Chains A and B, each alone.
Chain A
Amino acid sequence: MSPLQITVRNAASGPVLGIIGELDHTTAPQLRDLLATLTLQPGQRLVLDLGRMQFCDSSGITALIVARNHALAAQADITLAAVPAHTLRVLHIVGLDQVFRLNPDSQAATQP
């Protein structure tokens, strides 16, 4: 079994991707491939639910940035929900906490 599983569901706000496991050099392409096939409507919000993400390295960070670029290109928005403390710290160091909309609550993140 892959150390990364990605669940996809559609909420009222737009697609919600559940990132479960490890997002690293070997698994990040899974997320990037999936993003390439994900259609977003203008005004929608892409939510990445990171509540069950156990690990995220620089390749994982890059995948998150890819997700953001993908959303912006579709004139949609992006929110990182339930970012684990370890990743939050990294996001803080690299300044991405200012770039991404963060929501500690994945349920709330899907509210329009």
Chain B
Amino acid sequence: MTARAGSQPDPYETGDDGTSNAMFAALLEDSAEELYESAPCGYLSTLMDGTIAKINLTLLDWLGMEREAVVGRMRFTDLLTMGGKLYHETHFAPLLRMRNEISGIALEIRQADGDRRPVLVSSAVKLSGNGEPLLIRTTLFDARDRRAYEEELLRERKAAEEARREAEADRARLQDALAALQQSLLPTTLPPVPGLETAAYYRAASPDQLGGDFYDLFPVDGKSFAFFLGDVCGKGPQAAAVTSLTRYTLRAAALHDPDPVSALSTLNTVLHERYTGGDPRYCTAVFGILEPDPATGETAVRLASGGHPPALVLRADGRVDFLPTPGGVLVGILPSAPFATASTTLAPATLSCSTPTASPRPAPDRTAPPCTATRRCVPSPPPTPAGPRTPSSRP
């Protein structure tokens, strides 16, 4: 070190290495106690039972308390809020006992003015030479900004969780509504028809998609039954609305006049009047009347079709026939539409009506009409048919 004779080093003089080193050393020496007391964090030393043995000025300032009121008189947990005390006893203290150190625990200290200050607490146990715990050293960092940020995060997370719960509840409600609506479009069971077995098979494309396919079977007077089956163009709520209109129109029409052409004509008028112009809504439909004859055990079938693929008849001998209805037009597109009729008698036989499969692109032969596939699907009849069977639908 160099120094000018007879004078103190000028603390403001620069460029002299020796002088700045001396300043630096002096500052460090001066600050050991000062650093502890005025550090930008709180310092605390406690006995193993938590009694505060030493505390720095910074922490006393935060607390708004005098050293005399704290040292030897209070425990660390006395500085905490009630929630903090509980957390300390259930988490902090056991963990510190287990590991002899713990860091970054979020707690709050109570200030004399009643306010609380969020802090991040780290503690370490000082051990004696033979490993006995002597005291606990603790630092507390002011975490007000961080806590505000965390609270913001928590709020956002809660809001997101709430939104998710609501969305799930909405979705469940929607599913229920869709299921109820779907059920209103289809019969839950088919009524027994004397001399006939009836069966229906319906499969929706997806659970939350309302289908446009419909069918029904119901008595129209003491001795005959009406059935219908069809397919409304499109899918979703709009299609379901048309399906609903179609079903109840056909039911009402059948009770008024059970003639198949008459029923389809009524439906045609209703759909055409309701849906015209740029958003046409229409359907294909087969409407039929079943007249079981108890005397013969046979059932007479009269049906009419509007643009629907022909029904199939499976005879007792295994023969499968179309019941052709050429010339019937889609229901709802013309002010007055022609419908084709057909009739047959089911003497041990199966009448099968179906809607085309949903597959939009039959490949490789795109022209294959669904009815061809259906005919292939009709099972062989049992060796000794029990009797006439019903319309069964197979969408």
Contacts and interface: CB of A to CB of B under 8 A. Distances in A.
Interface of A: 24-25, 32, 35-36, 55, 57-59, 61-62, 65-66, 68-70, 73, 85-86, 89-90, 92-96, 98-99
A36 B294 CA distance: 57
B280 interface: yes
B50 interface: no
Given A24-B360, A25-B360, A66 B278 contact: yes
Chain A binding site: helix, strand, loop or mixed by DSSP?
A: helix
B307 A98 contact: no
Interface string B329-348: 11001100110100000000
B367 A62 contact: no
B278 A95 contact: no
B75 to A, nearest CB: 73
A98 B330 CA distance: 11
Given A58-B233, A89-B367, A95 B277 contact: no
B191 interface: no
B210 to A, nearest CB: 16
A85 B337 CA distance: 24
Interface in B262-279: 276-279
Contact of B329 (A36, A57, A94): A94
Nearest to B280: A65
B276 A94 contact: no
A24 B366 CA distance: 13
Given A69-B280, A70-B278, A95 B306 contact: yes
Contacts of B334: 99
A94 B327 contact: no
Given A36-B278, A62-B280, A98 B366 contact: no
A94 B369 CA distance: 11
Contacts, number: 68
A24 B360 CA distance: 9
> Which 7 A-B pairs give the minimum distances between C-beta atoms?
A95-B329, A94-B307, A86-B367, A95-B307, A94-B330, A65-B280, A57-B360
A4 B79 CA distance: 76
Interface in B308-339: 308-309, 326-330, 333-334, 337-338
5 contacts: A24-B360, A62-B282, A66-B279, A86-B367, A95-B306
Given A62-B282, A68-B333, A95-B330, 7 more contacts: A62-B234, A85-B367, A86-B367, A93-B371, A94-B284, A96-B333, A98-B329
Interface centre among A25, A89, A94 (most CB of B within 10 A): A94
Contact of A65 (B282, B284, B360): B282
A93 B280 contact: no
B327 A95 contact: yes
B395 to A, nearest CB: 14
A35 B171 CA distance: 37
A99 B333 contact: yes
B280 A66 contact: yes
A65 B278 contact: no
B361 interface: yes
B284 A55 contact: no
B282 A89 contact: no
A86 B369 CA distance: 9
A59 B284 CA distance: 14
